[in-house]
Structure 1
């Protein structure tokens, strides 16, 4: 199975979809690939290429999200910032953070802030869909 942003796994699906997901990543090819994977899996996906755009979508009263998936490292602010803002305004909203640059200290900090799951890049389409499924069903990540 390939890692994103390569071809997606056509068999991956989210049960009881459509979930409403917000995906945030400043890497446009990655943002498009993740959006495509999750859309094909049956989710309704809004995407944002910046923290400012993500915060605007989060504040829109007509949009309600079931899950937020964000990159850790982005210009201006980080996925940790998005996580902390969301947890202060929507404490029960699950947030997943993905990165190729994890340290144990960063993972521990995200855990303290309330992250639902830390995902390692590169990630496969199947792993991504499974992570969303685990979070939506209250299952613990498999580390």
Structure 2
């Protein structure tokens, strides 16, 4: 774990809850095992319907979502659209190994955050990206109050 991640983790006064949506169990398992070590708690969902249920069950506790782009039935942008119909301020970023339908630029416009490419460069990078999104989301909420 690099120094910047350690600093972020020790400065965290809370353990944010993030929803991870991916149809690849290996990715869900990897993130479920790794991200708690970076101070991030997870809810995982292997498909769009599970993602919507988890979001509703969280009763506003989810701070952000990390959503795969290529999934059967309902792709990442559609999942985010459904979630944002319930909470337009939900922070989310996409992850993808390859997308025929969406460019990285269009995905970033939809989510407002850079796309994480799979395979991941490192778990430090994933955690740092999520913390940046969470921290900015928190500062936006505080400044809006």
TM-score range, shorter chain: 0.7 to 0.9
Give the Cα–Cα distance (whole angstroms) in 1 for the partners of residues 118 and 81 of structure 2.
Answer: 21
1:41 equivalenced with 2:65 (yes/no): no
Which stretches in structure 2 are left out of the alignment for 5+ residues?
Answer: 138-145
Q: Larger helix proportion, structure 1 or 2?
A: 2
User: Runs of at least 4 residues of structure 1 off by over 3 A?
Assistant: 9-15, 102-105
Paired residue for 1:131, among 110, 129, 134? 129
1:4 corresponds to which residue?
none
TM-superposition CA deviations, 1:34-56 (whole Å, max 9, x none):
11111121222111111110011
Matches within 5 A, 1:12-51: 12=5, 14=9, 15-16=11-12, 17-51=14-48
Alpha-carbon offset, residue 103 of structure 1: 6.6
Please list every run of 5 or more consecutive structure 1 residues that lacks an aligned counterpart in the other structure.
Answer: 1-8
Matching of residue 100 in structure 1 with residue 97 in structure 2: yes
Partner Cα distance (1:130, 1:35) in 2: 16
Q: Is the 8 A contact 2:70 2:99 kept in 1?
A: no
How far off is 1:110 after superposition?
A: 2.3
In 2, Cα distance between equivalents of 1:37 and 1:114: 24
**CA–CA distance in structure 2, aligned partners of residues 109 and 96 of structure 1:** 12
Query: Which has the higher relative contact order, 1 or 2, with Cα contacts under 8 A spaced 6 or more apart?
Result: 1
